[in-house]
Structure 1
Amino acid sequence: MSEQKRIVVVGAGMAGVQTAVALREQGFEGRITLIGAEHHPPYDRPPLSKAVLLGKTGTTAFEVDFDALGVELRLGLQVTGVRPADHEIDTPAGPLAYDSLVLATGADPVTLPGTVGVPGVHLLRTLDDALRLRPVLEAQQDVVVVGAGWIGAEFTTAAREAGCTVTVVEAADRPLAGTMPAEIAAPMSAWYAEGGAELLTHARVAAVEPGAVLLADGRRIPAGAVLVGVGARPATAWLAGSGIELGPDGSVTADAHLRTSAPDVHAVGDCASFPSGRYGARLLVHHWDNALQGPRTVAANILGGATLPYDPVPYFWSEQFGRFVQYVGHHADADEMIWRGDPGGLSWSVCWLRGGALVALLAVGRPRDLAQGRKLVEAGAALDPELAADPSVPLKSAVRKL
């Protein structure tokens, strides 16, 4: 691409920032404009539910010198639409032309019906969200957490560390109902009581009142503050009417090279789904590692370099209740599950196999299992189930010999 070319990246989170960095690293010398809706300099999100909430740090800004990279950073600018036929995006400041466009707008938290704007009801997605919640923890208020997913568990951990009384209400019959099988969630349920929090399952919220949460069964739970953590959806509403194809889940339906249905438009990170040949399914991955890896593929494709299809092994981690939880792979189509260790203990793992090959692994306090398992999933290695079930046997030693 010539120096006159202009690449516009919409979204200044991890995926957007890394796209700009990757473009420069791969030799692009033209104009790069990075647009962020927030006024804060681009920042990392994982510390929001930990260090920022607890007042251990006030910022998690990326250590990227945008001036040195020659990246035009436009903050506090909300993009309202895109017109692919004109190669322009629309903003309150006027239209902006592009030669290539990258959609990296991430995801928005799902809200609880009837609670938007209600005093004392919080979300946890942005730096401002975390800063608004910090005084709640400092005041050791009674907190109700709606949703026992990953973010609910992490926030509960921080709130308990701060000395808050925490009640977690979950509509399903267990934590992580949307992501983990019942057998896995069962031992995790005990972590809440162990951490000093009360977990209520089969509990639906009927209303949020001043100082309380009212459940559908009539129970009234005191609440100085409410944290809603019931999931996130791709931030793609602004693409309505653009002609860019979206999936039923709201994600931009990118192809195997992260190209969208519109010419010269790519999508990456939490807002984009992609077809995985490895797993035979379209994946929507809302995790930090995906936002780190995808930009390299996007940059290579924009610049015309040869690149393999984007087909990563998904990975994420969570710190909760004194445990480091890591997951790698995708277990939806697995046909065998193998435990490694006692799930009632502090460290254990679960392997998922499909046709004898390792396709996913959950590790609780067993980082070596995760490190070895990640390589084995990438290689499509077959495991000996008996050896894999022995936690004293390194996973790499459980590979079947051909």
Structure 2
Amino acid sequence: MEPVADLSSDDRIVIVGAGVGGAQTAAALREHGWTGRLTLLGDEPHPPYDRPPLSKDVLAGKADSTVFDLDWAALDVELLTGRRALRLEGAERIVVTDGGPVHYDHLVAATGASAVPLPGALGVPGVHLLRTVDDALALRAALRPGARVVIVGAGWIGAETATAAAALGCGVTVVEAGPEPLPGALPAELGRLTRDWYAAAGVELRTGSPVAEVEAAAVHLADGTLLEADAVVVGVGARPATGWLGDSGVTLDDHGAVLADARLRTTLSGVHALGDCASFPSGRFGTRLTVQHWDNALHGARTVAADLLGGDGAPYDPVPYFWSEQFGRMVQYAGHHPAADRLLWRGAPEDAGWTVLWLRGDVPVALLAVDRPRDLAQGRRLIERATPLDPAAAADPGTPLKSAVR
């Protein structure tokens, strides 16, 4: 992948995608002195906004808008909202949009990911996805006291939506095809610990229950069960929004994410990619990662801006981090646990808060903290520095992690 050519003051940088990654790339470019033409293109009609609060504050009725507090006019950023990228013509350096062509000298792909629908459920009345602010507002209107809500998928979005719906007085059922909540995100032995959270909130959880069909006002399970519903929420994952890159010369991996290098450059000269739509090589964990969380987009934006401006910083290799607020608990995760050899407990599931560490030898590579934010903060730094721990001291929840260093 080619290094970035020197920027000219006459060049135009176009950022496709107006989520946190795109918005923060634009802001970082201006912050670090880029004065040339800068265009931010988003497919939604709204100004750039933050997505994590959609399943939290917006659903709960605490906020209607999560627009970033950035003055685009003062930043001299050309903001093109409501413009969907249709394809990239790399040889001509043109983004073809539904509002006409957009020419660029350097391009940043930050188009994020799209919610995965259930087959046959798109367009069915009462069926909701949760990815945009319009999705959140439409779903909030359906979450009336007494409404029967069926949520398909017991992942992070499913749990957060169930939390909000139950708090609003809905009757909530969550169905999950996997054997335990949070399949794919956590080992089953940890996912099953959240079962009691659902029960305590009055939410019915059905695992091992794949969906056969969704129709207006009903969900049919594969075992023949019929669940009547006033609203159905589908939260079965997201896929990189990279269809517009097609035959552009930007190489995608087997999961549809842009194949980026350690400076988030793509295989097409003049094009970077970041956030949910990109994968990157992690020397830290010895594998290629696609991290569909806010923190990755934020840090990727800084790397891309620095690289465009000729920086020679360290390779992009963050410790992934995300958080979820569900059933009155703050759940935080850092690292990449498939790289681990063993799991170490700090506390127990019945405690008010607990933490698990994944270790490679005695070095932490991942951490899950439930209502223990100090463990998360200290543990994340230890993961970043690959600092060995004394396992006996680390297993004592009364010992700060930073004091368990060998």
- Tell me the residue number matched to 1:270: 276
- Tell me the residue number matched to 1:318: 324
Range that drifts further, 45-54 or 119-128:
45-54
1:63 and 2:57 aligned: no
Matched-pair identity in %: 62
Do the aligned partners of 2:114 and 2:240 also contact (CA within 8 Å) in 1? Answer: yes
Amino acid at match of 2:264: L
- Tell me the residue number matched to 1:148: 154
Do the aligned partners of 1:336 and 1:354 also contact (CA within 8 Å) in 2? Answer: yes
User: What is the distance in 2 between the residues matched to 1:210 and 1:77?
Assistant: 31
Q: Deviation per CA, 1:22-71, whole angstroms, max 9, x where unpaired?
A: 11111111000000000011111111111111222110100000000000
Do the aligned partners of 1:22 and 1:295 also contact (CA within 8 Å) in 2? Answer: yes
Q: Deviation per CA, 1:342-384, whole angstroms, max 9, x where unpaired?
A: 1123300000000210111000000110011011001101111
Do the aligned partners of 1:323 and 1:346 also contact (CA within 8 Å) in 2? Answer: no
1:379 and 2:351 aligned: no
CA-CA distance at 1:97 after TM superposition: 1.2
User: What is the distance in 2 between the residues matched to 1:356 and 1:389?
Assistant: 12
Which runs of structure 2 are paired with 1:295-310 in the superposition (5 Å)? 295-310=301-316
- Tell me the residue number matched to 2:11: 5
- Tell me the residue number matched to 2:298: 292
TM-score, with structure 2 as normaliser = 0.97
Do the aligned partners of 2:183 and 2:191 also contact (CA within 8 Å) in 1? Answer: yes
Q: Deviation per CA, 1:271-306, whole angstroms, max 9, x where unpaired?
A: 000000000000000001011111111011111122
Which runs of structure 2 are paired with 1:3-402 in the superposition (5 Å)? 3-400=9-406
**SS class of match (1:17):** helix
Structure 1 residues 339 and 222, CA, compared in 2 at 3 Å: closer, same or farther?
same
Range that drifts further, 1-10 or 124-133:
1-10
User: What is the distance in 2 between the residues matched to 1:365 and 1:120?
Assistant: 35
Range that drifts further, 255-264 or 49-58:
49-58
Q: Deviation per CA, 1:282-334, whole angstroms, max 9, x where unpaired?
A: 00000010111111110111111222110001100000000000001111120
**SS class of match (2:280):** strand
User: What is the distance in 2 between the residues matched to 1:124 and 1:93?
Assistant: 26
Amino acid at match of 1:108: S
**SS class of match (2:339):** coil
CA-CA distance at 1:138 after TM superposition: 2.8
CA-CA distance at 1:270 after TM superposition: 0.5
Range that drifts further, 172-181 or 182-191:
182-191
Aligned length: 400
Amino acid at match of 1:315: Y
User: What is the distance in 2 between the residues matched to 1:235 and 1:329?
Assistant: 24
TM-score, with structure 1 as normaliser = 0.98
- Superposed CA RMSD in Å reads 0.9
Range that drifts further, 17-26 or 137-146:
137-146
Structure 2: which 5+ residue stretches go unaligned? Answer: 1-6
User: What is the distance in 2 between the residues matched to 1:83 and 1:15?
Assistant: 22
Do the aligned partners of 2:121 and 2:215 also contact (CA within 8 Å) in 1? Answer: no
Do the aligned partners of 2:219 and 2:228 also contact (CA within 8 Å) in 1? Answer: yes
Structure 1: which 5+ residue stretches go unaligned? Answer: none
